[in-house]
Chain A
């Protein structure tokens, strides 16, 4: 996939002072950006084993080249309705690693890699959904759309905070 190659290349060009590289992903027609350095790979998750009694956004676990990866449904994390995708054969996931553990963030589809000047990153509007605010670290105004930058660490932590709140 072109994105996978781009990812490899992008990894080599780490975040420099002024230009930041993001992999774009689409969730519910909203485009998000994830810093390339956070992403290990992009893959089609297959054979996800459900984990009974787990939180709703944990779709399950799967085996990725010998490593057990926890599959997280990002739509669920963002309080969006799930994809009507019956048996889940066409899923798309972004592989990240946080605190030594591997996660697969299930998204709708992957877009291109963008290189954007850091200066253009604007703060999140205060009227944005609080859950989205927690996981975003900024917003870019692109030509045709708004790019929300995702903070992976906080995305995966949000649940912990929610748990405490609940």
Chain B
């Protein structure tokens, strides 16, 4: 493109931005002459430049706008919102013509008569001159063929179109006919005459350099900022930046080499070199710094237009405009900021009447602020509107399938608010042209994350919403931790690293496996561990790599660890962007050259988290709080075994009827299922690992579960141990066949869901027995089950139900007395006698003296031996004692007791 044209475009676009902002200010302060003069001068300059570049359409528009502004300036007219809007409209039109110009190097076809007429009409009232009319038609342009209109004009004004009478020749490109100039002079004031004349002279000499210099000169007399500036080509700055980066790298290389030698001669000058390089680096980075106000320039206009469009009153307050940040970053946050401000206008701020009713000022306040904070620049967009509609977001998210109802129930308000960053969510009932399409905030977040920043939000119902964006200050050179795995060396940006942990098989920190997920126990939290070599696609046996390091990182609020083999030192590296075809690999954010010349990839924590899905699921807090509901605080006997791998699994011992070792030759297949003949019936065999792989030569250990004459065998690889510990189940990952995991014998152990395996053996394990029983005994006997162990209650109750009884399971003897008071009756009371708040024997004794329940048979559940039971008097107080672990015996004893009672009664 023509140099002059590109300069013109750059400058004019800048001026137009300023005009926008100033017009909005002017509208709010119509009495402020300084603003008006500024605007007038800017528009006038634009018009002039358009004139001698031979851009008639632009000139016409600018002229019409300038005329109207002139009227304001002369106090012939008073600015009204409508007229200001009109001028803004013409500015927009100019912008679009400029865009066309940028692409095609010429003005688009057509005229702007409509707008111009409106402008003219607005400026009319007192003064009406021919001059205002003449620019309405296309001014002579030798390139474009003269139209009929212009021929008419010839007669009208006797100013030649294409042919200047005064000059006696065709007008050259860029020239304005003298007649037109005169007409223009008539409309404008004195000083303008001189300016125009000067401008025309400059054009006649066709000195391009002079014209642009003059423009530049005019610019610098702009009273807004009188800072000495120089216009420098951005590319030169980039080159400078690259060279300085190379210098930094070379210096690092030198430093490394010198570290090894002990030559003092080298050290001193090298130190000096090092500090000078650091200063140079800082200085060059500063040249790329621009005040954030530049990105905020167009926001006042946007706020004004948005507010008008939705009929609200909004005021934009900016603070910290002079806070500087890197040019590249500035470009990237422009759009996100615009989007957020628009959202605030459209959705956040309430209509005036609602605001007043709520006691807020009529005009909504949007506060933009920027400040430096510890190596970052923080930008806040805060409004005092209605805040985010939490329940609407929740229901929309469920409706759009972003979260499930269950997840929604456990999420805090803040977490719900964060869902606005998810793609495809929009709570706007109607999509306006401004916002509400649901494709905004997720793009905003990814834009910001792309440059290594973070975005967070806080919202309070009725008070407002605040977005906080944090962006690291230096993009190009970062400190990075160099790590190594089998896949090679990688760099991790220091900013992302929270902590470094050394892990070993026997040390303080151990990696543990929970159903294929690696975790690390770190100071009371379970940290998900990601194996870098797995993500990078190198096959590896996980169990071998227990010794190594874990780099703990945070992405937003999500913490996780990346497992590596070794950690080297921290280096200052120059981030070089990935080549185009490697850009899509999300786990890398760039590559760099190390001091030794090798190229390594830079890991992107965001990318890693996304790849593993860690950013969405496993919210540690919610999982733990869920687990807490099913947590157990008393000891339960658990049977530990291996099945499928060497990771321990367990089932509650009290569910197991018997432990058997079965001769594998006796295992048969029928109908696709494995069976074994067991005690005169066929027992289905299910393998606890999920895969039907049974021992071939050695005896197959089997856990037998029996109920109502039917048995199911759960085959395992090896029975390890029986432990009695507090059962605290956490981290349920929802996989079938598992209730969750717990720490047993200091190891993370998978707790199997016995019910699942039982139903694998017999589909109707829990139902058939009940059906049979109901046929036999139409009136169900009622059992009162007292046990403080919820786990046990939950396990036993369904089994007793299946055996045909109606079960009321309660936690304590206190509850038992409450039931008693309520007039409840039971056929048998089964009670644990080792409970925290009541001694079972006392309970039994009280029962014996109770009016209503003294005759009800009492069964004690205990793990104590005969002798101990005698000691505490349990034998006499209870009808019978059953071992807690002996399930079959429990049911048969109940049966027996009730039957004999029935007979006796």
Closest to A49 in B: B599
Q: CA of A61 to CA of B599 in the docked complex: distance in angstroms?
A: 7
Q: Is the CB of B580 within 8 A of A99?
A: yes
Q: Write out the residue numbers on chain A whose beta carbons fall within 8 Å of the beta carbon of B536.
A: 52-53
Q: CA of A51 to CA of B598 in the docked complex: distance in angstroms?
A: 13
Q: Mark B412-425, 1 if CB is under 8 A from A, else 0.
A: 00000000000000
Which B residues from 474 to 520 make CB contacts under 8 A with A?
Answer: 487-488
Q: Which of B246, B249, B579, B598 has the most CB of A within 10 A?
A: B579
Q: Is the CB of A58 within 8 A of B576?
A: no
Q: Write out the residue numbers on chain B whose beta carbons fall within 8 Å of the beta carbon of A61.
A: 579, 582, 591, 599
Q: Is the CB of A52 within 8 A of B593?
A: no
Q: Is A55 an interface residue (CB 8 A)?
A: yes
Q: CA of A55 to CA of B576 in the docked complex: distance in angstroms?
A: 20
Instruction: Give the secondary structure class of A's interface.
Output: mixed
Query: Closest approach, in angstroms, between the C-beta of A52 and any C-beta of chain B?
Result: 3
Q: Is A63 an interface residue (CB 8 A)?
A: yes
Residue of A66, A101, A159 touching B593 (CB-CB under 8 A): A66
Q: Is the CB of B581 within 8 A of A63?
A: no
Q: How large is the interface on A (under 10, 10 to 19, 20 to 34, 35 or more residues)?
A: 20 to 34
Q: Write out the residue numbers on chain A whose beta carbons fall within 8 Å of the beta carbon of B295.
A: none
Which A residues from 69 to 118 make CB contacts under 8 A with B?
Answer: 70, 99, 101, 103
Q: Is B601 an interface residue (CB 8 A)?
A: yes
Q: Write out the residue numbers on chain A whose beta carbons fall within 8 Å of the beta carbon of B591.
A: 49, 61, 68
Q: Write out the residue numbers on chain A whose beta carbons fall within 8 Å of the beta carbon of B601.
A: 49, 51-52
Q: Is the CB of A51 within 8 A of B246?
A: no
Interface residues on chain B, number (Cβ under 8 Å): 23
Which B residues from 509 to 543 make CB contacts under 8 A with A?
Answer: 535-538
Residue of A49, A53, A63, A70 touching B579 (CB-CB under 8 A): A70
Q: Write out the residue numbers on chain B whose beta carbons fall within 8 Å of the beta carbon of A103.
A: 579
Q: Is the CB of B488 within 8 A of A101?
A: no
Query: Closest approach, in angstroms, between the C-beta of A61 and any C-beta of chain B?
Result: 5
Q: Is A131 an interface residue (CB 8 A)?
A: no
Q: Is the CB of A58 within 8 A of B538?
A: no
Q: Is B709 an interface residue (CB 8 A)?
A: no
Q: CA of A20 to CA of B591 in the docked complex: distance in angstroms?
A: 38
Query: Closest approach, in angstroms, between the C-beta of A153 and any C-beta of chain B?
Result: 13
Q: Is the CB of A49 within 8 A of B246?
A: no
Q: Which of A63, A103, A159 has the most CB of B within 10 A?
A: A63
Q: Is A54 an interface residue (CB 8 A)?
A: yes
Q: Which of A58, A62, A68 has the most CB of B within 10 A?
A: A68
Q: Is A50 an interface residue (CB 8 A)?
A: yes
Q: Assuming A50-B488, A68-B576, A68-B579, is B587 touching A63 (CB within 8 A)? A: no
Q: Is the CB of A51 within 8 A of B580?
A: no
Q: Assuming A51-B585, A101-B580, is B599 touching A63 (CB within 8 A)? A: yes
Q: Is the CB of B582 within 8 A of A54?
A: yes
Q: Is B600 an interface residue (CB 8 A)?
A: yes
Closest to A48 in B: B599
Q: Assuming A61-B591, A66-B593, A68-B593, is B585 touching A54 (CB within 8 A)? A: yes
Q: Is B190 an interface residue (CB 8 A)?
A: no
Q: Assuming A49-B599, A52-B537, is B246 touching A66 (CB within 8 A)? A: yes
Q: CA of A54 to CA of B601 in the docked complex: distance in angstroms?
A: 12
Q: Is the CB of B598 within 8 A of A53?
A: no
Q: Is B597 an interface residue (CB 8 A)?
A: yes
Q: Is A146 an interface residue (CB 8 A)?
A: no
Q: Is the CB of B599 within 8 A of A53?
A: no
Q: Is the CB of B585 within 8 A of A53?
A: yes
Q: Write out the residue numbers on chain B whose beta carbons fall within 8 Å of the beta carbon of A58.
A: 581-582
Mark A residues whose CB is within 8 Å of B. Answer: 47, 49-55, 58, 60-63, 66, 68, 70, 99, 101, 103, 156, 159-160
List 15 A-B residue pairs with CB atoms under 8 Å apart, sorted by A's residue number: A47-B597, A49-B598, A49-B599, A51-B601, A52-B535, A52-B585, A53-B587, A54-B581, A54-B582, A61-B599, A63-B599, A66-B593, A68-B579, A101-B580, A160-B581
Given contacts A61-B579, A68-B579, 6 further A-B contacts (CB under 8 A): A47-B598, A49-B599, A52-B488, A61-B599, A70-B582, A159-B581
Give 4 closest A-B pairs by Cβ, nearest first: A52-B536, A70-B579, A49-B599, A61-B599
